[in-house]
Copies of this chain bind each other. A is one copy, B any other.
């Protein structure tokens, strides 16, 4: 089945203890689409970029089989730009620059032929933009997955709650889950968040793995143990993209299949963090994916 992805396509400039980049390809929509394309999902991307956005990046997305006709190019404006600096051990980061540019007035137009797409993945964006996408669909998709972040909890609480009430799966990190629910216990947090609408709650804990909650069921996927992490940028988006892509490819949204999708998501995120930006996601060998999937299963085989 097809997967409609809505999310930013951006320029990032990243500094980590391992190095520094100029403007490179970034954005939630980019990471999500790349990750889901590896799951062999049929991906359609809705986004917006400026006239400064390099053609080679659009070509890269196309080369991965991603349908980019939903990317609006505003020739006289500039692409969304984010710059950040990670501290020791990557556990915290400072945002150095955020230039919204085209994203500031992003009004997503879902192309007619996308409006029946069965799987919808809403990357981290303003909750009203996310909702506008849902409202353009001809019918409720089989599964809507959303990502969000603390910024929207701080600034657009009511809008955010409204959007959350319309989705099936929410994917957020542990701090965000705690902020959203007001509960420190992730068990309680997931329960409260589920009462806000989503029947499935994913809580990402970075190097500590991820949790999948649905009704009384819980599944835990560990994170791959890696020799080193170069750049965590996009890991959460990659995770969400791997999850949604896996489900869309199979068309199966059972809890059993979601377990597998979570493991797949964890594997994809492990590739993302090993290189700067999207570099780790551009060329992944299917054998490498299979090997890591086997290693991850082995870690929890009992």
A interface residues, Cβ below 8 angstroms from B: 89, 184-188, 205, 208-209, 211, 217-220, 222, 225-229, 259-260, 263, 295, 297-302
Q: Are A300 and B302 in contact (CB under 8 A)?
A: yes
* Copies, count: 2
Apart from A188-B227, A209-B209, A301-B302, list 6 A-B contacts with CB within 8 A: A89-B184, A208-B209, A220-B300, A259-B302, A260-B302, A297-B302
List of B residues within 8 angstroms of A217 by Cβ:
298
22 sample A-B contacts, Cβ–Cβ < 8 Å, listed by A number: A89-B184, A185-B226, A185-B227, A185-B228, A185-B229, A186-B225, A187-B225, A187-B226, A209-B220, A209-B222, A211-B225, A217-B298, A218-B295, A218-B298, A218-B299, A219-B299, A219-B300, A220-B222, A220-B299, A220-B300, A300-B300, A301-B302
Instruction: Determine chain A's interface SS by DSSP, over half rule.
Output: mixed
A262 (CB) vs chain B CBs: closest residue: B302
List of B residues within 8 angstroms of A229 by Cβ:
185
The one of B187, B218, B219, B299 in contact with A227, judged by C-beta atoms closer than 8 angstroms, is: B187
A256 and B183 alpha carbons, distance in the complex (Å): 36
A219 and B187 alpha carbons, distance in the complex (Å): 23
List of B residues within 8 angstroms of A302 by Cβ:
219, 259-260, 263, 297, 300-301
A222 (CB) vs chain B CBs: closest residue: B220
